[in-house]
Structure 1
Amino acid sequence: MVVVIHGGYWQSDVGLDSIAALSEKLTKQGIATWSIEYRRIGQAGGGWPGTFTDVSQAIDYLPELAKKNNLNLNRVVIVGHSAGGHLALWLAGRHRLPSSSEIKTDGTPLSVKGVISLAGVVDLSLMEEVLSISEEVTREEFNPVRELIGGSSAELPERYAQASPIRLLPLDVPQVLIHGALDATIPIGISQNYKKVADNINKNVEFIEIPSAEHFKLINPESEAWPIVIKEILTML
């Protein structure tokens, strides 16, 4: 069972159709695939806390699906691209949230076998800083991390601590971070730094750099990046 989470900087104009080709390819290989949707920035209830509670409720609905579709919930892997990579890792680490958190849902989170992040925004504070610097240079306002959380990391440090995967380490499940060296959307250093921090805690995070890939080749089954991506998914399953 693979839970697929699309990217798009958590914004309303990008939905799960953006990752449909990957989902369809997995299904054709005989893998049960659950591509989930969530409220996004620009939609009522999107951002903090709705985006987080939506993905939690989506994955926790799997036991109901399993009753009707004979699914093996002992072999569930989450695969997320870009903003979806952030949400995938966050889902694996949400058991570490404080009981008072606005983004903590009721009940015991569904356990997963592992997570694969495809060019994921795995460190919200660092990405917010990168985007803030870009805003200063371009003099154009564009910081979806700030929009997602409701403010900057300096303004809302507790929210960033609860929403950023790097702040929830160790996640207690195997993780694979795949990132293209030519990615101009999410800098590869975001994943590299996560790997460095994780290695100081435990050794269950693998990092794979694809030299010829930019941001979207990772979810294109026709690209040279796909054999690497599917190999890691099948290995984790």
Structure 2
Amino acid sequence: MHSSRHQYGPSEHQVVSFLHPREGEAIQGTAVLVHGGYWREAFTADLMLPLATDLMMRGWAVANVEYRRVGQAPTPSAMVSDVTTAVQSALEWSAESGRPGKVIGVGHSVGAQLGMLSVGLLDAFVALAPVTDLPRTHRENLGEGAVKGFIGDHTEDLPTLLERYSPLHQLPFKKPLLLVHGSDDQRVPVDHSVEYCTKAGSLGDEVDFWHLPHLDHLQAINPEGAHWPPVIEWMQARLG
């Protein structure tokens, strides 16, 4: 395994960790990982290391994204911009490394929310237990009021602001998307993904939705879960 780090901004939190298999090994494609944690600084890109390691062992190059979170980013748009810039860095790394294959995003929880807002740069996206609807997340007070922390003091036009950062309200994206969400999720109700897929499909987006009976929020990023090998197969099918 080879690894390196690229700082895409002045903050220590604006960094992408790159991992790829040993020299000479075939590369399937590049996966860009974006972690969740309801935008809170206690949760870092380390959350995605098990998935990163698994993908790398399967022949994927991996870009594991860190971004400024609440208390580090001055505005919600700065968090979104961080992930967009990190994705661009991953695309440049992939091209410079001589890997012409496709680049697929994998986001968990609000990492899916942030990643989906940058999906136009990617070839496809896997959303694991995603936050897709900020107005609803705010109304339901999910994550112990996490949306209030994300928005901060920028509440002069709250409804418009919440919709701006909601994948549900930015449809269609016109990129292949897989949503994986479990009925046992206590952090983001699966109904959010049901609503998202219904609207996305009605607007012509290519969306696959796996509503799993026994998958909680954190198990969604467990590479030993029964759901993960089929996710890999879905990603590989998008490479063609």
Question: 1:5–1:63: structure 2 CA closer, same or farther, 3 Å change rule?
Answer: closer
Question: 1:178–1:167: structure 2 CA closer, same or farther, 3 Å change rule?
Answer: same
Q: Which letter does structure 1 place at the counterpart of 2:54?
A: K
* 1:92, distance to aligned residue in structure 2 (A): 1.6
Aligned: 1:116 with 2:143: no
Alignment match, 1:28: 57
Instruction: Give 1 or 2: higher strand fraction.
Output: 2
Q: Deviations over 1:88-109 (max 9, x none)?
A: 211125xxxxxxxxxxxxxxxx
**Counterparts of 2:92 and 2:116 in 1: how far apart (Å)?**
23
How many residue pairs get aligned? The number is: 210
**Counterparts of 2:210 and 2:32 in 1: how far apart (Å)?**
21
TM-score normalized by structure 2? 0.81
C-alpha contact 1:179 1:210 (8 A) present in aligned 2: yes
Instruction: List aligned pairs for 1:86-105, cutoff 5 A.
Output: 86-92=113-119
TM-score normalized by structure 1? 0.82
State which of 125, 137, 144 in structure 2 corresponds to 1:127. 137
**Counterparts of 1:120 and 1:153 in 2: how far apart (Å)?**
23
C-alpha contact 1:153 1:160 (8 A) present in aligned 2: no
**Counterparts of 2:62 and 2:238 in 1: how far apart (Å)?**
15
Note the aligned Cα RMSD (angstroms).
Answer: 2.0
* 1:157, distance to aligned residue in structure 2 (A): 2.2
C-alpha contact 1:177 1:205 (8 A) present in aligned 2: yes
State which of 84, 96, 99 in structure 2 corresponds to 1:71. 99
* 1:226, distance to aligned residue in structure 2 (A): 1.8
* 1:192, distance to aligned residue in structure 2 (A): 0.5
Give unmatched runs, 5+ long, in structure 2. Answer: 1-29
**Counterparts of 1:174 and 1:56 in 2: how far apart (Å)?**
18
* 1:149, distance to aligned residue in structure 2 (A): 2.1
Identity of aligned residues (%): 31
* 1:129, distance to aligned residue in structure 2 (A): 1.1
- Which is bigger in relative contact order (C-alpha 8 A, separation at least 6)? 1
Q: Deviations over 1:106-142 (max 9, x none)?
A: xxxxx3211110000011111111117x9xxxxxxx2
Aligned: 1:49 with 2:77: yes
**Counterparts of 1:90 and 1:125 in 2: how far apart (Å)?**
16
Alignment match, 1:105: none
**Counterparts of 1:231 and 1:114 in 2: how far apart (Å)?**
13
